[in-house]
Amino acid sequence: MMRKNLMLCAATALALGGCAVGPDFKKPAPPAPTAYGQAGKGSTTQPVSGSADAAAAGPQSVVQVFRPGQDIPAQWWALFHSPDLDRLVRRALDQNPSLESARDALAAANENRLAQQSALYPSISGSFNPTRQKTSRTYSPVPNNNSWLYTVHTAQLNISYVPDLWGGVRRGVEAAKALRDAQRDQLQAVYLTLTSSIVQAAIDQAALNAQFQATQSLVALQRTLLASAERQEQVGQFSRNDVAMQRASLAQNEASLAPLQKQLEQQKHLIAALVGDAPDAPEPTFTLESLSLPVELPVSLPARLVEQRPDIRTAAANWHAACAQVGVAVANRLQCAAWRDSGVCCRIHCADGHAGFRAVDSGRHDHTASV
């Protein structure tokens, strides 16, 4: 009879093994357009026109080519051809605490997924309990083996299994996998945010350096003009009003040097914070001459860019996990079955070592069903 019940439970589990209640997650279809609205109107950028502007632009005056459908490389900052920038980004990826925290969160989510999968397998537990006992000589009869001291060794094995009839466990595993994917996308978001922030900070520092140097050159030129104006005033060619205007212009440009210097220090501290260094740690100084514009510019559709965004992918993964949790809730409302089996083995060993016996329990089998 017991064997028939086990076979019936196994057949039922196999029949319902492919069922999983709850809604199935379906990824939304991307938009239909395959090109930009202005596709075909230009495949290159316009170079700097004019001899003066081209001379000022220097090596940055290059023609950039658009590449539709081309993906951006993973190490996209290498397209600027700056060794200092490459080393700075690599240091940040190794030392940034936010990125390290995201990696640990992903590892924890993966372990939770593995723990959730363990519910698909039987649960086995065992125990072993040795006890030393003594029979009272006053109130107990003389044992057959004439031994008042004996040791009892008790070993117990428990096996339980809950068949996943309605797919609740599988839905839970599906939710755990979706949460793992969401954590992976969050790690990607931290990665992109960190690298883009470092590159943007380096470009801003290069622009501020160029602006600071240009302002210093302008101040030096105005000081020369002021000295010339003062000499011309002495010979009567300039009035005091002209000299005063020149001094005001010089003072105005000199006053703009301090804010630029402050912004440069702020950019330096920002780069140190992103890398994970102290503010006084030596960091490379970037200039516009040390950065080169990429020759090829990948062009992707907005729909594809949205699909690649980590925050959109995280939202989709959370949606997937929510759909799976609905299946778990529905499965918990339905009838379930459980199978448990236990066996006990007992051995009594007398103190003299000459007598003893072994008793084995036939085992207990429980088959329960609940709603």
The model's pLDDT over 15-48, given as tens digits with 9 standing for 90+, comes to 545 567 778 888 777 666 556 555 445 556 555 4
The answer to whether residue 110 is domain-embedded is: yes
The answer to whether residue 218 is domain-embedded is: yes
pLDDT of residue 295: 83
The answer to whether residue 247 is domain-embedded is: yes
Rounded mean pLDDT, 177-187:
94
Phi, psi torsion values for 245, nearest 5 degrees:
-65, -40
Residue 103 pLDDT > 90: yes
Is 160 within 8 Å of 338 (Cβ atoms)?
A: yes
Residue 272 exposure: Cα atoms within 13 Å on the Cβ side: 14
As for how many domains the chain has, the answer is: 1
Torsion of CA 309, 313, 314, 318, to 10 degrees: 160
- Token pair of 298, please? 């990948």
Residue 200 pLDDT > 90: yes
Cα gap 59→150, rounded to integer Å: 95
CA angle 56, 61, 63 (to 5 degrees): 165
Rounded mean pLDDT, 61-65:
73
> Smallest Cα–Cα separation from 119: which of 179, 169, 159?
169
Q: Where are the alpha helices (DSSP H) in the chain?
A: 2-16, 51-57, 83-95, 97-117, 168-234, 240-255, 257-275, 302-308, 310-333
The answer to whether residue 359 is domain-embedded is: yes
The answer to whether residue 312 is domain-embedded is: yes
Query: Helix crossing, 257-275 with 240-255: angle to 10°?
Result: 10
Cα gap 30→16, rounded to integer Å: 34
pLDDT of residue 216: 92
The answer to whether residue 46 is domain-embedded is: no
Range of the domain at 347: 76-370
- Token pair of 357, please? 């016996």
Under DSSP, is residue 342 helix (H, G, I), strand (E, B) or coil? strand
pLDDT of residue 51: 42
Considering Cα of 327, then 332, then 333, then 337, what sign does the dihedral take?
A: positive
Residue 169 pLDDT > 80: yes
The answer to whether residue 89 is domain-embedded is: yes
Cα gap 230→80, rounded to integer Å: 47
pLDDT-derived band at 161, boundaries 50, 70, 90: confident
338 or 82, greater pLDDT:
82
The model's pLDDT over 277-330, given as tens digits with 9 standing for 90+, comes to 887 878 888 988 888 888 888 877 766 777 788 888 899 999 999 999 998 888
What is the enclosing helix (H) or strand (E) of 356?
Answer: strand 356-360
Check which CATH number belongs to the domain holding 245 and give it: 1.20.1600.10
pLDDT-derived band at 239, boundaries 50, 70, 90: confident
Rounded mean pLDDT, 255-273:
92
pLDDT of residue 229: 86
pLDDT-derived band at 195, boundaries 50, 70, 90: very high
pLDDT-derived band at 190, boundaries 50, 70, 90: very high
The answer to whether residue 50 is domain-embedded is: no
Residue 284: which residues within 8 A CB-CB, separation 6 or more? 84, 85, 87, 88
pLDDT-derived band at 131, boundaries 50, 70, 90: confident
